[in-house]
Amino acid sequence: MASDDVRTLSEALAADPSSLVFLQLGEALRRRGDLDVALRVALRGVERHPQLADAHDLAARVAADRGDLDRAVAEWETVLQYAPDHIGARKGLGFVCFQLGRLADAGAHLGAALAANPEDASLAAAIQTVQAALEQAALSEPTIAAERATVPVNRAALPPESARAEVDAGALFDDLLEGQHSAALLLDADGLVLAGRYQATDGRDLAADVGAQLSGVSDEASRAMRHLGLGAWRQIVFETEAASVAMAPSRDGVLLVAAARPIPLGFVRRVLERALDRANSWLGGA
Amino acid sequence: MHAPFSQLTESLIRHRGVLGAMVVGLDDGVMVHSTLQVGVNGNAFAALTASLYRKAQRSAGAAGFGATGFLELLAEQGRVCAVGGENLVLVVVCETRVNVGMLRVDLLRAVEQLS
C-alpha cells in the first residue's frame, strides 16, 4: 500500500477517531513494516473498541510480527472470547504455539480452523508440519544426511519443461555435497521447495519444513536493505548450535545451504556459491 | 567516566574496515551503547539488525537448529555482523573488505562480556 493511502487512512481516523478505519490503517502499517506505529494504532483501537474481535486480531498480528509472541497469544485468546469461530485467531494461535514449541496446542488450534474451513489447503499443510514436528520431537535429534530421496516440488514455480536441465530436482546439488553432512535447498519466493533435499537420519524428508522456516530470514533481510543504504543483500550466514546456515538470493527465490556444525563456515559459503551457480543455470535451462 | 560497554565497542571498531560497533537491546532494537564513525546511522542499523537477528533466532529454533550465535549479512556496499547475548546483541557495521574471520572471533569473545 502506498504512503498516500496510509496518509488518507490516518486523516480519516483523525477526522473520526471512533471509526473502524483504524483496522485498515493498522494493517497497512503492519504490511509495510511500520510495526511500532501499527501497534500504537491497534492498541488505541482496542481501547476504543474493547469488545471488537478484529481489533484484538490486529493487535495480535502486529505483536506476532514484532516477535512479542506472549502478547500475540493473549490478544488472540481475547479474540476467541468474543468470536469463538474466528479462523484468523485460530490460525494465528496455531502459528505462534508452533513457534513457542507448544506443538499439541498448535495442532489443536489449526485443527479447529480446518474444521471451520475444510477447503483451506494451507491449513492442512500446516497441520502436517505440526504432526511431523511432533513425531520429530519424539525421536532423537535429527542430523543431516545427504542421501537420495524425493522432495516435494512446487511445479508451478518451475521454469518451462523445455528450458530445464534433465536432472532430478531433488538431486540437483548432491554432487556438491557428497560426503558432507549438509543439505542445499532452492526455494521460491513463497518458501516452497524448487530443488534440493534435506533428510533426517531416519529418512524423513524435512525440506519443506526447514525451507518454510528459514525463508523468512531472507524476507527480513530484504526489508532491512531498503533502509540501510548498503545496496541489495548478497549473503546471510549464521551459526546455530546444530548447524551453519548460508543463504543467497536466486532470481525470485532464495538458495539455502545448511551444514552440520563441525563443518567450517568458510566451507559452507563456498558450497553456497557453487550451488548458486548451479541453481541459476538450472533455472535458466543452461 | 566510561560507559559500561565502551571498552568493548572501542576494541571492535579498531578492526580495519569497521565503521561502527553497537550494543543493542535484542527485544526492542534500541541502542544501548555505540562507537560510530561519522555518518553511520546507528539507530537504523541497531533496530534493523536486531530485528533480523530475532528472525534468525526464531527461524533456526523452529527448524530445530537450536540457539543462534554469529550472524553476518553481506550486501553490495557493506557488511553487518551480529552476535546475541542473553538480552543484548552486539552489532558491527563494516566495509566489505573487513577480515570477517578475525571480527567473528572478537565478536564471540566480546559477547561473553554482555551476559
pLDDT in tens, A107-143: 888 888 888 877 776 677 777 777 777 777 766 444 4
Q: Is residue B33 in a domain?
A: yes
* CA dist., res. B107 & res. A69, Å (int): 28
- Cβ of A213 within 8 Å of Cβ of B74? The answer is no
* CA dist., res. A272 & res. A256, Å (int): 7
Provide the residue count of chain A.
286
Q: Residue B49: give the domain boundaries.
A: 6-114
Q: Is residue B1 in a domain?
A: no
Q: Count A/B contacts: CB-CB distance under 8 Å.
A: 114
- Cβ of B74 within 8 Å of Cβ of A214? The answer is no
Q: Which CATH number covers residue B108?
A: 3.30.450.30
Strands of A56-106, DSSP E: none
3-class secondary-structure state, position B84: strand
ipTM of predicted complex: 0.91
- Cβ of B65 within 8 Å of Cβ of A245? The answer is yes
- The DSSP symbol for A140 reads P
The chain A residue lying nearest B29, using CA atoms, is A66
Q: Which of A80, A123, A83, A76 is nearest to A97 (CA)?
A: A76
Lookup: cell for B61:
529454533
How many secondary structure helices (H) and strands (E) does chain A include? 11, 5
Q: Provide the number of structural domains found in chain B.
A: 1
Q: Which residues contact B81 (CB under 8 A, 6 or more apart)?
A: B70, B71, B72, B73, B91, B92, B94, B100, B103, B104, B107
CB < 8 Å to B27, chain A: 67
**Rounded (10°) angle between helices A121-138 and A103-116:** 160
Q: Which of A272, A277, A276, A281 is nearest to A159 (CA)?
A: A281
Q: Which residue is associated with the grid cell 563494516?
A: B94
Q: In tens digits, what is the pLDDT along chain B, a chain of 115 residues?
A: 456 788 999 999 999 999 999 999 999 999 999 999 998 999 999 999 999 999 899 888 877 888 999 999 999 999 999 999 889 999 999 999 999 999 999 999 999 887 6
* CA dist., res. A208 & res. A159, Å (int): 19
